[in-house]
C-alpha cells in the first residue's frame, strides 16, 4: 500500500526534471496525479509513462505566472478527481546571468513572475480546496539559493529567498486548518536548468558540494514525497535542503 493512496496531487513544472521525477514517484505511491507545465509535449509524455505503469494521471497545461491558469488548474483537478490534498509548486526558470546593475529588467520580471509570484498564485488557489478535503500538504520548491547568495543571479536568488519566507507565513496562517506548507531547497541537480552550462562550469559546480557531484531528480523527489505524506504530519513551516552538503560550508 502506497504512502499516498487515495490522495490527489498537483505538480507544476512536471514535464521534466524534479517535477517529472516527483510525479512518477507520487503515482507509484498511489496518488492521483495532475501533471502541469507549459511544455505540453513533454508533459503528455510523462502522463503516458505514468499510465503505462498503471497510475491515474491527467495533464493540464498551465503557466504558473498566470493567476487565471493557477485557478483553472485547481478547478480542473477537483473536477477530474473530486478533491485536492497535495500540491508541489515546482515550476521555475533560471533566468539571465548578469550582475545587478546590468541585469535586464524584463528578465527580472519574468523570473519573479514565475519563481515567486507563481508559487503565491498556486498556493492561494490550492489552500481552500485542501481545507475542503480535510487538510493536506503543500511543498514549495525553493533552492539552496533561498538561503545564500551567488553572483550574477539576483532575480533567482531574490525569488527563492521569497519562496522560503512566503512558505513560513502560509504555514503559520493555515496550521490550525490542517494545511502543512514546507519548502525544499535543492542543490545543483541534473536537470534541464543546467543544460546550458559547459563541462568546465559543471565540474566547478560539482566541487561546491562536499559530495563532489550533482544531485539526481529522484533524490529530491524522495524528500518531497516525505513532506507530502502523513509521515511528516507534525512538520510545517520549514525549509529542507537536499544539497550534498552545499550549505554546510
SS3 56: coil
CA–CA distance, 191 with 238 (Å, rounded to integer) = 24
Over its length of 249 residues, how does the chain's per-residue pLDDT go in tens digits? 699 999 999 999 999 999 999 999 999 999 999 999 999 999 999 999 999 999 999 999 999 999 999 999 999 999 999 999 999 999 999 999 999 999 999 999 999 999 999 999 999 999 999 999 999 999 999 999 999 999 999 999 999 999 999 999 999 999 999 999 999 999 999 988 787 788 899 999 999 999 999 999 999 999 999 999 999 999 999 999 999 999 998
- Residue 191: what pLDDT? 86
Among 94, 164, 123, 112, which Cα is nearest to 10's? 123
Give domain limits for the chain. 8-239
Q: Tell me, what's the pLDDT at 107?
A: 98
CA 213 to chain centre: 22
CATH of domain 8-239: 3.40.50.720
Residues 6+ apart with CB under 8 A from 240: 182, 183, 184, 185, 223, 227
Catalytic pick among 156, 174, 188, 246? 156
**Amino acid 196: pLDDT:** 74
Q: Report the predicted TM-score, pTM, of the whole model to 2 decimal places.
A: 0.97
- Mapped onto helix, strand or coil, the DSSP state of residue 183 is strand
Q: Is 156 annotated as catalytic?
A: yes
Provide the 8-state DSSP code for 229: S
Strand order in the sheet with 8-12: 57-61, 32-37, 8-12, 86-89, 136-141, 179-186, 239-242
Amino acid at each position: 500500500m502506497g504512502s499516498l493512496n487515495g490522495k490527489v496531487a498537483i505538480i507544476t513544472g512536471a514535464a521534466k526534471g524534479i517535477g517529472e521525477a516527483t510525479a512518477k514517484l507520487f503515482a507509484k505511491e498511489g496518488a492521483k496525479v495532475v501533471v502541469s507545465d507549459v511544455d505540453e509535449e513533454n508533459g503528455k509524455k510523462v502522463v503516458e509513462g505514468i499510465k503505462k505503469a498503471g497510475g491515474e494521471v491527467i495533464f493540464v497545461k498551465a503557466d504558473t505566472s498566470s493567476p487565471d491558469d493557477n485557478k483553472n488548474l485547481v478547478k480542473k483537478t477537483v473536477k477530474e478527481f473530486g478533491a485536492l490534498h497535495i500540491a508541489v509548486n515546482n515550476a521555475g526558470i533560471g533566468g539571465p546571468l548578469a550582475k545587478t546593475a546590468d541585469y535586464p529588467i524584463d528578465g527580472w520580471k519574468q523570473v519573479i513572475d514565475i519563481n515567486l509570484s507563481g508559487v503565491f498564485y498556486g498556493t492561494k488557489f490550492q489552500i481552500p480546496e485542501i481545507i475542503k478535503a480535510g487538510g493536506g500538504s503543500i511543498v514549495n520548491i525553493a533552492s539552496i539559493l533561498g538561503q545564500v547568495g551567488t553572483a550574477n543571479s539576483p532575480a533567482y536568488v531574490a525569488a527563492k529567498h521569497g519562496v522560503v519566507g512566503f512558505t513560513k507565513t502560509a504555514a503559520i496562517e493555515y496550521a490550525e486548518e490542517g494545511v502543512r506548507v514546507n519548502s525544499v531547497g535543492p542543490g545543483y541537480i541534473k536537470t534541464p536548468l543546467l543544460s546550458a552550462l559547459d563541462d568546465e562550469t559543471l565540474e566547478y559546480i560539482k566541487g561546491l558540494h562536499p559530495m563532489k557531484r550533482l544531485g539526481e531528480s529522484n533524490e529530491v523527489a524522495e524528500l518531497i514525497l516525505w513532506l507530502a505524506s502523513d509521515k511528516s504530519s507534525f512538520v510545517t513551516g520549514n525549509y529542507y535542503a537536499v544539497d550534498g552538503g552545499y550549505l554546510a560550508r
